[in-house]
Amino acid sequence: MEKQSVKNRIVNIIKALSKDISDSTIALKFSSPFELLIATILSAQCTDVRVNEVTKNLFKRYRSAKEYAEVDIKRLEDDIRPTGFYRNKAKSIQKCCNNLMERFDGGVPKTLEELVTLPGVGRKTANVVLGNAFGIPGIVVDTHVHRVSQRIGLTKNDDPVKIEFDLMKIVPQGEWTHFSNLLVWHGRKTCAARKPLCNQCSILKWCDYGNKIKT
C-alpha cells in the first residue's frame, strides 16, 4: 500500500474510532505527572482497574518522590501487593524516586530521553507520561496497540519499539497520543485478543484481519 493511502486510512480510522469511543482518555487515574508515572509502573501486567483501586489509597499515603524513596520497602510492597510482581515494582519505584530526587529535584522530566533513564521506565511508560500528563505527543505500544495495529495491517513488526516507529511514520504527530488511546480502548471493547468482535467493528473496512475473515 502506498504511503499516501496508508495515511488516508489512518485519518479514516481515527475519525471512526473517535465517533465510536466518546471518551478516549487514559483509564489510569492521576492528578499529576508524578502520580501517572507511579501508576504506569504499577500497571505492568496488571489491569488499570486494579491499579486505580490501589492508587486510590497509595496516592494519599505517599505524595512525593521523597516519601516513596524513604518508606520501608516491605511497607511499600504491602501497599502495592494487589498489582502483582510487587517486589520488583517496589524496587523500581524506590530506585526511580531516588533518581528523581538526585537528578530532577523530585520532579518528573519532560523528555523521553530523560524519562527512559529512570529505573522501571521504558519507552511505553515514558510516552504514557509525556502524552497524557504533559501533552507531548507519543505513541504508546501496550498489548492492545501491539495487537490492534498488527491486525489492522499498520505494521508487520512484533517488537514494540519497531511498532512505535512504524506508527510514528504514518500517524500525524499531533494525533500520536490520541491514536494510541483509541487503539487501547478499541482493543478492550471490540478487538479482543482471543475473539475479536469483527461484526461490531467500526473500522472493519480498513482492517486487514477483518477483511480476510469476512464471508
Q: Give catalytic residues, as residue numbers.
A: 124, 142
Report the C-alpha dihedral over residues 160, 167, 6, 132, rounded to 10 degrees. 130
Grid cell locating 2: 502506498
Is residue 16 within 8 Å of residue 9, measured between CB atoms? no
